Amino acid sequence: MPLAFEVANTLGASQLRIFSYFTYDGFAPEHLDDDLDRLVDLAEAHDVTLVLENEHVCNVATLDQLTAVVARRAHPRLRGLLDLANHRSTRPPAPSADTLAAAARIAGAVHVKDFGGDPRRYAALGEGMVDHRPLFAALRDHGPMGTLPISIETHRPDDGPAVTARSLAALRAMLT
């Protein structure tokens, strides 16, 4: 059994986060087919759901790319880990309502964080340039029923507890 699945089963984790390899020229979603087929088979055998994160240094960096890859597989053991800040750090405009609705439909988890004008300078949620409210509205209207894990990513070792506390307060306000 591959170690990641063994650890997930030992810990009782229901999800494993995966990525789409570091960015390379000429990437196309079908390049992930064989690897995703193997991973989905393992996820099925070990009762785990894979959540593919859009990550700015990976081939799947934006919500549009994430939706294309996950929808291409259309398997209940593969979901998207939506990270709006990672999407915005690639410098596209804010995603459209249609993009957010499509991403919400494949959501398995959500990461929230914020940054100022420079994506390398993180801020407390709600204090930077990433507006998560449209994403939460799309998740409410188009997302999966039931519990959806939301993780705050502070990325501020200099002031982590205070930034995390402000982020948690902002998240609670956004979700009400």
What local confidence, expressed as pLDDT, does residue 1 receive? Answer: 56
Q: How far apart are CA 154 and CA 14, in angstroms?
A: 23
Percent of the chain with pLDDT over 90: 89
Of 3.40.50.150, 3.20.20.150, 3.60.15.10, 3.40.50.10680, the CATH number of 3-175 is 3.20.20.150
pLDDT digits (tens, 9 = 90+) for 62-83: 999 999 999 998 999 999 999 9
Domain boundaries, the chain: 3-175
- 3-class state of residue 93 by DSSP: coil
Q: What is the 3-state secondary structure (H, E, C) of 103-142?
A: HHHCEEEEEECEECCCCCCEECCCCCCCCCHHHHHHHHHH
- Is residue 4 exposed (0-12), middle (13-18) or buried (19+ Cβ within 10 Å)? middle
